[in-house]
Structure 1
Amino acid sequence: MEPRCGRATSRSTPAQTHAGRKAAAAAAAFCLCFCLLYPSAVEAGLYTASDQIYLLTPENVESVLVNSTAAMVVEFYASWCGHCVSFSPIYKRLAADTREWKPAVNLAAIDCAAQESRQVCVDHRISGFPAIKFFHAYSAANSQGEVFKGFPRDVQGLRHLIIDNLEAHGEHWPPACPPLEPTSQAEIDVFFQTNTVQHLALIFEKADSYVGREVTLDLLQFENIAVRRVLNTDEHLVTKVGVTEFPSCFLYYPGGNFTRLGVDFEARSFYSYALQRLPGVVRSGKPQPVITDMLTNKTGDIWRPFNSSRVYMADLESTLHYSLRVELAAHTVIKGETLTSLKSYISVLAKYFPGRTVVMNVLKSLNSLLQNETADHIYYEAFKEVLDNTAQAADTALPEVVRWVGCQGSEPHFRRYPCGLWTLFHVLTIQANSTGGSDPLEVLNAMRNYVRSFFGCTYCAEHFERMAAEGLMEVNSLSSAVLWLWSRHNRVNNRIAGALSEDPLFPKIQWPSPEMCSACHTVKENGDHKWNKDKVLGFLLSHFSSSTILTDYLEDEIQILEKQREKHARQQLAPKHVERKAREALNSIMHFPPSPSSVEEEEEEEEDKGEEEEPQDEAVAYEEEEEEEAGDEAPAAGSEMEGKSSEPTSWARAEMEMGHNQRQAHRKPTIVGMRMRELQEDIVDLDSFVNQHFKAKALQLAASSRVKQRTLQREVEQEPRPAFSLGMELDAGLGMVGLQPMKENLELDVGQQRKRLLKRELARQYFGGEPELSHKGRWMSMLSIGFSKLDISLCVMLYFLSSMCLLAMYLFFKNRLRVRRIKIALP
């Protein structure tokens, strides 16, 4: 069979290879879509979508198995079968081990115990469980597949069995699968002339070795690299290269040069990892890794050089910011199980987070708030007030600046928060182990509950929940909790490697890499990779220790506290600013133009005021402006310093009111509740307008702080009456302006009287009024107080039209009644 296979595969051209890689990408996309389209099957049997196994149903079995471009390995099982349950972990590990083979070979499973799937199992003549069948690429509709009789119960044996059946394809070779037969000197001599790859790896091995074929399939999804087998029986090549041990791997370059690939162990996993990290080697469909100086333009942020072997506190604080201010903010009310999850999460952070003093004070305040909460719910706004330190406790702040360092990605949607969250919980498990926590599951349960209740990626949260449900109860010590989280992190890396979410600059690998911890990696007797968990634990305890966390790129604590104070001050001024805007909007309903003299006087006063006043703080000036607009009287600064009474005298208050009125002279008075009229048609009696304006504006003075009692009589007709002053005191219950009698011998300043008369004359000229009202004008003034001539004209016109309408209706009905009487009189 092997020579036949060799003839079939040796005819592959670069075009066929390119087409095969396209088919590989299509198959990977199909795998993702399949897992998303059948969530119900995920929950039913022994396998889930996260196990990287196709879940077959009667609806999709034909489309998956018939005429497929990839070979299919299918397990037929019954969920009630004890042996099937015991075999399922092995099949899951096989799927994870061969995930890079997917474009050429896919793994699937179907539950024959399910009512809807029984007929499929009957059609494929399944009589016992578990049963495994191999379906060649381009299988016909009536194909029954090749049965694995007496298949091994270990991953390596199953992997070798799959390779044997894959090589038996003959003419119907999967287009995405590279050649697996041994190469020759003739092919190597012209390799770079017929292929566009940058690297050619030659694995020298014995005839019964599977390492070369396994590494070839492991590199199937990568571009710019090709792998070929060379048997130890090829004396010419073995002698030319100088190979002395098998297996061994050499890189061949144009010109006939060979270089041995440096690895710690001559084994499949070490070869695969080293070849995938060669320059220019990228996963199919992924762009080349981005050059560092180009990242600034793509992320919109400055690229921060960092040490990939260290943890940065900036990542941890950025994670806290996003977790507490963004993800939690999506929950307006937190109650029930969600509140319990939040309490355990904050409690773990307060106990084990190795943060700065200002951050730890925030976490302790939040923990105190939640632990003392007796209600069954809490509002996020209350939580946020403590988080933002609204009470302004000393040395308490969580930075709002996000600075990703070790978790930064080449694109804005790569890494960042998910990377930060993993790092955060690794640090917490290490801190719990170092400080001697009492509960091994304390941190892991807090992480599990947080991800289930708050993590934004729902699909990711479901995967993590299923993963946690499998083996979390096996954790019985603090060190085992550290290793459990590490192993699950690597499982997730294996599952999402090559996905769209993978950053090409930071590919998903089994971590730590051999470069970071060579002692963590070893091999079994059969050559498979094995983790040295003792070395892994030591590496994790050192890598995530609080003493080794770098504080580079952190914002200074003094700056953080200063920014928080400024933000708090702005929040306090915001209500006053809103009130001021509302008052200005009220004033803009209807405006009167200022007279030229008042504008000039106001400008002069502003200039004088600007010369006399000292520079003020912006917030203080803002508050004083609010007090001036509200009509509040504040004592002078000099009086306060000299210890004088802060209550101004009535004369001083009158002077302050006069100055306030002069500053407000350019403002156009308004009448609340009335429709705005065109300015050129406004004719308003000033005395009546002032009276209305007092009611609407509540204590804005119109002309002076001291006026005589208003009347419509001529000055010669008025009887002597006591003068009154308009005081600024308010009746608290009624809100009325008080009238205070003045002394009769109190004379107004001549200059002030002349200014006020000039303003009144100019205003009357603008509104079309006369200095003295005629007899008719006085009656019109009495009848049209607060109304213009246009309003009166409209009223008269409406009265006339309504009268004519009533007259027309009367004539119409009278005429109609006469016609009806005539009709009744006819015989």
Structure 2
Amino acid sequence: MRLLAVFLAFFISLIQCSKYHPGLYGNYENILVSLNNENYKQILFNQTSDILYFVEFYAHWCGSCKRYAPKWIDLAQQTINWHKKIIKFAVLNCGDPLNGQTCGEFNIEMYPTVRLFPLRANFSPPLHNAIEFDPEEKDLFIPKIINYIEEVEDKPTNWPSLEPYRSSNLNELFINSNFDQKIAFLIVEKEEESLIGREVILDLSDQNVTIRRTTPKVNPKLLENFDLNLERLPSVLVIQNNGQEKFSYISIDLKNKSSQANGDYRKVMYDEIRRYLHIVPDFESSTLVKNFTSNLESFTNQNNNLTKASMNMRDLETGLSTILRYEIPHFNVIQGDEFVVLKNWIHVLSKFFPGRQEVRNYLGNLNTKLHKSEKITKNEWLKMVNENQTSDSFLPEKSEWVHCKGSKPDFRGFPCSLWTLFHTLTISQIEYENSKTKPFDENFNVLEVFESIRTFVKFFFRCSECSKNFQKETYDYLEHLKQPHDAVLYLWKVHNRVNKRLADDITTDPAHPKIQFPSRELCSVCYNETGEFREDEVFKFLSNFYSGSKMVQALEKFSISKNNFQELKSENELILNHENSSKKNHSTYSMYLILLAISVVGLQQL
């Protein structure tokens, strides 16, 4: 009986919820507050709320309201990030007879009627302290709302400040902040009346971060300490408080980025700040930036030693493990062209991978076993990869990124290790030939490594967009790979083109900017007097930088034990049984629904 009461209460609540007409906005409850005769007082006149309400009074049968609805939805979507702390968009359907008395109290004479309700509005019909907006001036709604928010007295403490930052002391940027953070953002615009900075501050009001705005006219004394090109405003300064009156900063030039976004500075500024919030850049370094004179200095200084260091073999082994254990077995059956590509790829790895002898033995054994087959299933492949382990033939499965470690887990990592592996293989091919008595004889094939890389990316790299772009970037490889060293330099040029294309992309780790490699700091002789690369010197640099013999080893010892094999077996079974588990879970869920239906029927018969 108790269960029956629960069901009855549930159905009664459904009936109550459905008694109001769905109106024009039934599908937009995620961005619009639906007011009605029962809830409007609790929402609009809540004396403890810190939220403004922007309300449209309409009738669902009204033709002009129907035409107006998309515009109201668009405004709500434009300001969706303001809804959490600042202002919510709401609607009240006066065409529903149940709301008739309420709309009468508000003295609604025309549809649509638009009003802004202040914080903790008083219940005093008919206007209730609300400000009426002309519905036809919808393009002015956001500027008017922003100005209103800026002028509100006794603002809630969780609201951001929209007033210009006028202090010449950056300490106040952090002291007066509601957030215990070392990083703040300062938006620099040309005009104090500009809306963009204030829009972005409100767009990011749902984030726990301090963002202020200023202009050269409002705060010249402060801005003279920064290396800013005033002709390229607006700009964003990412500022860290290093303590003891010292600050580091990064200046984000938005001009080029805005041209790619059709001049939408609001979107570009929002995206850039979100990007830095996402990675939370670490400014700590041994050299503090004094008097704000060194743009990006403290930000990049921490990575200089890492960039100048040799590559790390651990990154290659971890990337190789990811390829073999996770990227390749995404086919249920590998056959035909895919199997030919797989065999060639494993053959190239076994021949040119420059790692420790145990890993090379592992790849050699894998190559031998694979060439005995004409096709292979996912299960067979995983078994071959994971059981092909002995004390002198193994590939460790788990390790931490070293050189390829990003500032956050979703940056760098596997893609970085792939590029490193590709470059290393092209260099290893040259080193392999040079070790022969007669190097670069008639059996040498300059295409051997590069074609294997290209086809592997095509068939087995599961980032589809990345794979397609790599094929586009290398479509003309046959025209360029003629001489022994061509593959090394061609891949280097492709990588630099990709770096240039992705330099400002949201996927780029700001702690590791995508530069034209190598930089002058790494190889000054690689540049001529006009700043162009000298390819002969670049080749020498790459041959040293990506040489397996020059890589930092720092590898963990690997021992085979029952625990090792049990762990491999357990993880292997987890992968192999995923589809079966999904089917079982689906069957269990279906049975649950059937039992639930039977229970409901039983309740109806009580």
TM-score, normalised to structure 1's length? 0.34
Higher relative contact order structure (alpha carbons within 8 Å, sequence separation ≥ 6): 2
TM-score, normalised to structure 2's length? 0.46
Larger radius of gyration: 1
